[in-house]
Amino acid sequence: MTFDLTPEQRHRMAELQERVAAELGGIADGRDRANWLRAGRLGLLGLCIPQEYGGAGLGALDTALALEAFGTACPDTGFAFAVAAHLLACSVPIAEFGSDQARKELLPDLVSGAAVAANAMTEEEAGSDSSALAARAEPTEAGFRLTGHKSFASNAPVSDVLVTYAITDPTAGYLGLSAFAVPTGLAGVRLGEPFEKMGLGSCAAGTVGFDGVELPAHYVLGQAGQGAAIFQHSMLWERSCLFAVYLGLMTRQLTETVAHVRGRRQFGQRLSKFQAVSHRVVDMAQRLEQARLMLYRACALIDAGASAERAVAQSKLAVSEAAIANSLDAVQLFGGRGYLAEHGIERQLRDAVPAALFSGTSEVQRELIAQAVGL
């Protein structure tokens, strides 16, 4: 067993870091369409999308490596998150479960950045409990009539396409949920204003309303009743590959922290010479490396077609909690500078906190792991 990346993978990551630093090296607001077009030109929006639609056709591990490079080179984790959510929670299910007509219509623009996608699953009373959805899709002669309200939908305020889920058969339990791709230009789609959030500020998130939206049948993903399976599949990709963005954040953060403690002097010597400081930096490096190995393993299992649910849950839990712990350490090590907005360290902490909430909370991941070990 080897954990070494191939020369091709290392070259691809290094090249992408250079290009991202040149194109998206500052704050890249996701409400600015120019940034989405830049991300499209960099290939970030089509990493794992088939080549026939303009993507690169990469597997899960290579997709994660690219997103890690993106997160390392782009200091705006909010936009990196927005890009990853667009790709993994929206474009992936369309590419894998959409009709031929929907794929041809939607994917080229999603890959180029001409269109932005949002995942609209969460509702006010249905967060971690996806079985409690209130949104309904009633069959019609031409397709479905969609009614409901969604919340906490990343990219929704600027979206052109929504991937959403609604109950089509209230009596069928797990098999009563269906998935849909919904162009936001259809009559009856309402997009709310962006939320004011603690972190990930460059990823606009908001509410979505469906007021009797008449949805043609070719926008159904898979077959009616397959929504739960489609959602779980997309979550495997999101909980693994998306969190590579946080590996990038922690990599950049560790580099900045090492430079700071080596350069700053107190009591006549470098901060790095104090054991209390150096050991805290070691803890940051240790968490990062452990999280990275778990994420790479989870992605490798997905690529191998093996059962990956437990590994993905473990990876998501490890990365999200490492990002929070490392960000707290970075603030402490930077001291007063870490608390000031101008240095960007406090923003890293604010961007890390939601990692333990979205894509299934840390508590949900622990439940999934507990079930996997037989509890």
Active site residues: 238
3-state secondary structure of 148: strand
φ and ψ at residue 117, rounded to 5 degrees? -115, 150
How far is 97 from 256, CA to CA, in rounded Å? 42
Answer yes or no: are the C-beta atoms of 140 and 190 closer than 8 Å. Answer: no
How far is 232 from 115, CA to CA, in rounded Å? 24
φ and ψ at residue 180, rounded to 5 degrees? -140, 150
How far is 55 from 49, CA to CA, in rounded Å? 5
3-state secondary structure of 196: coil
Residues 21, 315, 325: CA angle, nearest 5 degrees: 70
Looking up tokens 């309904």, which residue turns up? 136
Q: What residues contact 367, with CB distance under 8 A and at least 6 apart?
A: none
How far is 119 from 246, CA to CA, in rounded Å? 20
